[in-house]
Chain A
Amino acid sequence: MPDRLLVTFSPHDRDTVTTDKIMMDVVIALIPVMLASVYFYGYYAVKGYLLTTLFCMGFEYAFNKILKQPCSLRDNSALLTGVLLSMNMPAGAPWWAMLCGAFVAIVMSKQVYGGLGQNPFNPALVARIFLLIAWPAEMTSWVKPGGSFFFDAVSSATPLGLTKADIIAHGQIMAHNVSTYSDQIFGNVSGCLGGDGAIFVLVGGAYMLSRRIITWHIPVTFIGTVFIFSGIVWLIAPHRALDPFMHIISGGVMLGAFFMATDYVTSPINKKAQLIFGIGCGVITCLIRIYGSYPDGVGFAILIMNAFVPLMDKYMRPVSFGEVRA
């Protein structure tokens, strides 16, 4: 006969999904992108992934220790931030940039707000933009994809960077500077570790969709908006803008739409607001790419839309069942 029974509120059963499993699933979804970047950048990619995740997890642990909090490494969120941060840096980024980026991502844009779930802006993107503004030279020292694991870094510009430079210098895009579709799709162009290689991002995205970690709302509206917006500009002025296919498979659009904009913490919670969020991300990305001074605007676009999330959550609350609205 039991002498002490546990009494709790219902429900007494739980779904098997937990936060750490979700985070790990996202990391798993990133594996195709990671493998592709290791294939193209070899040693540089391995170094980037290892150091950034190590730094991120180190700062997370140190912050927990200093504030005497329970260790939050087991929720895998620092691991995920580390992987995403290094995907947002050029292959040739120096180790101290990774260290600073990890500090900004984990401490300044997550922990000081109260840790997981409290940060208004995507930590990895805040770190990327911080680094881009603080050390523009190091953050745009792109490496040309090499043929082997160890190779000498040859610097080269990104396709988006070249088109921007063309427009500034000549007022139009020079055809010989535009990369091919297949290079873009497989990631055989210089850029961030996780930036290009659309097909691998799509594989990861499909995995997350099938595991119901994300829904179609943000990626589809984000990519769709970029396609339509850049398509209209391209139809009107083809010499000033890349074609819409090139736009969605170059730079950070794919990675941003599937992995950064869908971050639970910094995206709207209800589906209608997610549609607006995705459209907003797409519009701002195109505005910056086509009319701004930066070659790519995905990072800025997502961060700007992050700022609207609390408002969207507040004013786009779903109508409760049977609710009579005055």
Chain B
Amino acid sequence: MPFFGFKGGIHPQYNKSATSGCAVERLAVKAGDIVSIPLSQHIGAPAKAVVTKGQQVKKGELIAEAAGFISSPVHSSVTGKVLGIASVIHPMAGRVEGISIEAECDDEDFVPAPDTETFQKAVQAAGITGLGGASFPSHVKLSPPKEVDTLLINGAECEPYLTCDHRMMIERSLDIVKGAVLIQKNLKIKNLIIAIEKNKPASIALFRKMEKEYGFELIPLDVKYPQGGEKQLIKACTDRIVPEGKLPLEVGVIVHNVGTAAAVYDAVEHKKPLFERVVTVTGAVRNPKNLLVPIGTPISRLIEECGGFIGVPRKIVMGGPMMGLAVSSMETPVIKGTSGILVYRQEDLPDLKQTPCIRCGRCVDACPMALVPSAMDRYVVREMYEALEEYHVMNCIECGCCTYVCPARRTLASGFRTSKRHILRMIKEREANNA
């Protein structure tokens, strides 16, 4: 299929060169290292702890089980002793319940996941969630209630700075393809597409070699942010438009990140639970790296592994610069959805002084969802949520393109994000009244 592209989007400074050539290094666990693993790793029900304080656990051992269908179990990422089940720092939710474990040694082996009847159950048992950032439990996506004709493997990695997917695609290309084929075979999906942005030519070359043998289609994508957004990627690769408020399933597509495909392969072939992931550590650190990190490791440990800060850090972002979350503590743990740690000094940060909107329309041109951020911003300021709803704010994917291009430095996307919560509540109330 040709490359169809999508409307809107931006071309930020990608700044990937600091780590794009760095092979993934395994972060060696030292005795005494403490990991704190939040029980909520994603949207959906938090997992239920099945260990008690003082208990010895091995790497890969189940420490919390899934609480329902939209829930994933959690496994220990180190071999050691459970310090306690208490509130731990969470990058998104402030503080949540979590399990702290003190490592005793750097264990090479892990406890394999249990045998299961179905493919989906195997994926759930391994605790796999989307590794692209949204961290939705993968087995849910792999249980489509409708027919799916296309599986799209997302190797766009459109976020600036991040190179973890790029390194995965270079170092584990065969595993990614095998994982993708596993999903394709088990769900009986006709087409398999692997999409990679053209700023990763090394990855594209590797996948090009396997294209025939494994029967997938490789689509090199013209570089543009937010190409890796689910709806944008589907539009770019298949020219299908996911209706507003609907899932990709509606147009017969499911999208999985390359990292998730590799994790599925590990789970099915090696019974390996998801207890570690690759994280790009970059920005103002001495030696930027791509690290394979046990889930629950605090940021401070990653920074230490990268030789410490350059200068005085002012802002630390978990994820990329466009959609990542600024964290308030150096002890915030890496979770399943953490793709990067980005350190800013004061001098790296843009001047954020706001001025009035001059209606230049840059946000309108940049919006990949064809919204009118400048007009919507006026309603955000006045808290006019009904009007915002009419302007389809619920269709906003919070990619941050509008905020990025705004010459008046208006905080457009964050206003929409907070407004969406109000509107969701409003819609619920309306439905309750109508019922």
Interface positions of A (Cβ within 8 A of B): 1-2, 5-15, 17-19, 21-22, 75, 77, 115-118, 264-265, 267, 269-270, 313, 317-324
In the docked arrangement, what's the CA distance between A324 and B342, Å?
39
* Given A5-B316, A17-B405, A18-B407: A10 touches B324 (CB 8 Å cut-off): yes
* Given A116-B355, A321-B370: A10 touches B375 (CB 8 Å cut-off): no
The dominant DSSP class at the A interface is loop
| Interface residue B243 (Cβ < 8 Å from any Cβ of A) | yes
In the docked arrangement, what's the CA distance between A77 and B243, Å?
41
In the docked arrangement, what's the CA distance between A22 and B374, Å?
17
Please name the residue on chain B nearest to A270 by beta carbon: B364
7 tightest Cβ-Cβ pairs between the two chains A and B: A9-B414, A11-B400, A14-B350, A117-B356, A320-B392, A322-B244, A321-B369
Which listed residue (B322, B355, B406) contacts A13, Cβ 8 A?
Answer: B322
Which listed residue (B315, B411, B417) contacts A5, Cβ 8 A?
Answer: B315
Other than the given A12-B324, A22-B407, A322-B246, 6 more pairs (CB < 8 A) read: A2-B309, A10-B319, A10-B398, A13-B12, A13-B404, A265-B359
* Chain B residues within 8 Å of A21, by CB: 407
Over the window 404-434 of chain B, the binary record of Cβ atoms lying under 8 Å from chain A Cβ atoms (1 yes, 0 no) is 1111110101100100000000000000000
| Contact B358–A8 (Cβ < 8 Å) | no
* Given A318-B370, A320-B392: A9 touches B417 (CB 8 Å cut-off): yes
Please name the residue on chain B nearest to A317 by beta carbon: B372
Contact stretch, chosen from B104-112, B146-154, B173-181, B326-334: B326-334
* Given A6-B315, A269-B372, A322-B231: A11 touches B404 (CB 8 Å cut-off): yes
* Given A10-B413, A13-B350: A322 touches B359 (CB 8 Å cut-off): no
Please name the residue on chain B nearest to A22 by beta carbon: B407
Please name the residue on chain B nearest to A320 by beta carbon: B392
Which listed residue (A2, A267, A321) contacts B244, Cβ 8 A?
Answer: A321
Least CB distance, A240 to chain B, in whole angstroms: 39
Which listed residue (A12, A264, A267) contacts B321, Cβ 8 A?
Answer: A12
In the docked arrangement, what's the CA distance between A77 and B235, Å?
40
| Interface residue B323 (Cβ < 8 Å from any Cβ of A) | yes
In the docked arrangement, what's the CA distance between A75 and B411, Å?
18
| Interface residue B368 (Cβ < 8 Å from any Cβ of A) | yes
* Given A13-B350, A14-B350: A270 touches B405 (CB 8 Å cut-off): no
* Given A21-B407, A320-B371, A322-B246: A9 touches B358 (CB 8 Å cut-off): no
| Contact B231–A12 (Cβ < 8 Å) | no
Which listed residue (B231, B323, B364, B414) contacts A269, Cβ 8 A?
Answer: B364
* Chain A residues within 8 Å of B321, by CB: 10-13
| Contact A8–B404 (Cβ < 8 Å) | no
Q: Count contacts on B: residues with CB < 8 A to the other chain.
A: 69
* Chain A residues within 8 Å of B327, by CB: 5, 7
| Contact A323–B407 (Cβ < 8 Å) | no
* Chain A residues within 8 Å of B238, by CB: none
Please name the residue on chain A nearest to B417 by beta carbon: A9
| Contact A117–B317 (Cβ < 8 Å) | no
* Given A5-B329, A13-B322: A264 touches B359 (CB 8 Å cut-off): yes
| Contact B314–A5 (Cβ < 8 Å) | yes
Interface positions of B (Cβ within 8 A of A): 7, 10, 12-13, 160, 231, 235, 241-246, 300, 309, 312-317, 319, 321-330, 342, 344, 349-350, 352, 355-362, 364, 368-372, 374-375, 391-392, 395, 398, 400, 403-409, 411, 413-414, 417
| Contact B160–A320 (Cβ < 8 Å) | no
In the docked arrangement, what's the CA distance between A179 and B405, Å?
45
In the docked arrangement, what's the CA distance between A165 and B93, Å?
75
| Contact A2–B330 (Cβ < 8 Å) | yes
Please name the residue on chain A nearest to B251 by beta carbon: A322
* Chain B residues within 8 Å of A116, by CB: 355-356, 358
Please name the residue on chain A nearest to B399 by beta carbon: A11
In the docked arrangement, what's the CA distance between A8 and B364, Å?
23
| Contact A118–B395 (Cβ < 8 Å) | no
| Contact B369–A22 (Cβ < 8 Å) | no
In the docked arrangement, what's the CA distance between A22 and B359, Å?
12
| Contact A115–B325 (Cβ < 8 Å) | no
| Contact B409–A321 (Cβ < 8 Å) | no
Please name the residue on chain A nearest to B7 by beta carbon: A321
Least CB distance, B244 to chain A, in whole angstroms: 4
| Contact B407–A17 (Cβ < 8 Å) | yes
Least CB distance, B16 to chain A, in whole angstroms: 13
A-B contact pairs, 16 of them (CB 8 A): A2-B314, A5-B327, A5-B328, A7-B315, A11-B403, A12-B324, A14-B406, A15-B10, A17-B362, A19-B408, A115-B356, A267-B359, A318-B371, A319-B370, A320-B395, A322-B369
* Chain A residues within 8 Å of B356, by CB: 115-118
| Contact A320–B364 (Cβ < 8 Å) | no
| Contact B360–A324 (Cβ < 8 Å) | no
Please name the residue on chain A nearest to B317 by beta carbon: A12
| Contact A323–B315 (Cβ < 8 Å) | no
* Chain B residues within 8 Å of A6, by CB: 314-315, 326, 349
Least CB distance, B400 to chain A, in whole angstroms: 4
* Chain A residues within 8 Å of B405, by CB: 15, 17
Please name the residue on chain B nearest to A11 by beta carbon: B400
| Contact B369–A320 (Cβ < 8 Å) | yes
In the docked arrangement, what's the CA distance between A292 and B329, Å?
70
* Chain B residues within 8 Å of A2, by CB: 309, 312-314, 330
| Contact A5–B326 (Cβ < 8 Å) | yes
In the docked arrangement, what's the CA distance between A267 and B360, Å?
9
* Chain A residues within 8 Å of B244, by CB: 320-324
